[in-house]
């Protein structure tokens, strides 16, 4: 299994460890009615949309300021020596985004729970009805050094013809091929020129990541291209991280996320061209 992804059994064995932080990163729109209000023992809610995004930015899900990120982590009781496991209620969706966010600040002990809460329940582990309240608020500080983990509109534009810097689009084939509308009605559908489409659903099965052999098959075209850097994009920077995480142990090259993704690209292409 991907070294950044853990099983329900792995988590169950460590559920009471004092330095373990469990985060539920589920977006409110992705919570099935039958699982609403349910969570893993000791879990806390990771509010990606509000407390861990720049809510004043033009585009959705923009990475927050260092100060806002530090405050959010401090309020969750996160320390430098914490071991973090992040999950979604209904499989894999926003949790890889949270994994990537922590990786960009140099935090190594961060893992995604394969299959999320649904898999946790199906494997026979108990759930509770209330999130844990952290016992302490810490003065959490980060050393933000991985600025190249982010890529901008101008960077993508400058490298459209590159043979070694490749953009991977995690949206559906219909959105990529402009045969279905974008969820944001003000945006046209389509794709960044020369990008490669790997829908995030292609790397998942029943809410969990597919096997390493299956993922290698999916990424074989990319592997043969021997890229210097992969830039992952989607609608607004969330599902791009699913593809990034799926590729982590399979493709060894520099990886980054186009944080503005198609929302920014389509908007700026309309305004600037």
Beta carbons of 88 and 94 less than 8 angstroms apart: yes
Say whether 246 sits in a helix, a strand or coil: helix
Q: Is 254 helix (H, G, I), strand (E, B) or coil?
A: strand
Q: Rounded CA gap, 124 and 168, in Å? A: 37
DSSP-derived secondary structure for 155-184? HHHHTTT-SSEEEEE-S-HHHHTTSS--SS
Residue 259 neighbours by CB under 8 Å, 6+ apart: 59, 61, 62, 63, 150, 151, 152, 237
| Listed residue (259, 256, 260) closest to 149, CA to CA | 256
Residue 94 in contact with residue 100, Cβ under 8 Å?
no
Would you call 191 a catalytic residue per the annotation? no
Contact 202, 217 (CB under 8 A): no
Rounded Cα distance, 207 and 115, in Å: 5
Active-site entry in 73, 234, 241, 253:
234
Cα–Cα distance for residue pair 12/159, rounded to 1 Å: 45
Quote the CA–CA distance of 65 and 99 in Å, as a whole number. 17
> What residues act catalytically?
234
């Amino acid at each position: 299994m991907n070294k950044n992804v853990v099983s329900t059994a792995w988590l169950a064995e460590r559920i009471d460890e004092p330095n373990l932080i469990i985060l539920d990163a589920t977006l409110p729109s992705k919570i099935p009615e039958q699982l609403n209000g349910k969570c893993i023992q000791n879990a806390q809610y990771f509010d990606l949309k509000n407390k861990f995004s720049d809510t004043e930015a033009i585009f959705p899900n923009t990475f927050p300021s260092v100060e806002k990120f530090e405050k959010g982590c401090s309020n969750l009781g996160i320390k430098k020596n914490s071991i973090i496991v992040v999950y979604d209620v209904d499989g894999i969706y926003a949790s890889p985004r949270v994994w990537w966010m922590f990786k960009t600040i140099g935090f190594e002990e961060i893992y995604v729970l394969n299959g999320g809460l649904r898999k946790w329940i199906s494997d026979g582990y108990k759930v509770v009805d209330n999130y844990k309240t952290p016992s302490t608020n810490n003065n959490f500080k980060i050393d933000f050094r991985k600025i190249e983990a982010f890529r901008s509109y101008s960077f993508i534009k400058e490298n459209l013809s590159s043979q070694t810097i490749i953009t991977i689009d995690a949206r559906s084939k219909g959105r990529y091929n402009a045969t279905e509308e974008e969820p944001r009605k003000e945006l046209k559908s389509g794709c960044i020129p020369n990008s490669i489409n790997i829908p995030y659903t292609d790397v998942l099965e029943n809410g969990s990541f597919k096997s390493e052999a299956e993922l290698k098959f999916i990424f074989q075209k990319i592997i043969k291209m021997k890229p210097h850097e992969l830039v992952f994009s989607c609608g607004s920077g969330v599902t791009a991280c699913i593809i990034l995480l799926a590729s982590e142990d399979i493709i060894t090259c520099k990886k980054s996320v186009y944080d503005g993704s198609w929302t920014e690209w389509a908007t700026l292409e309309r305004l600037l061209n």
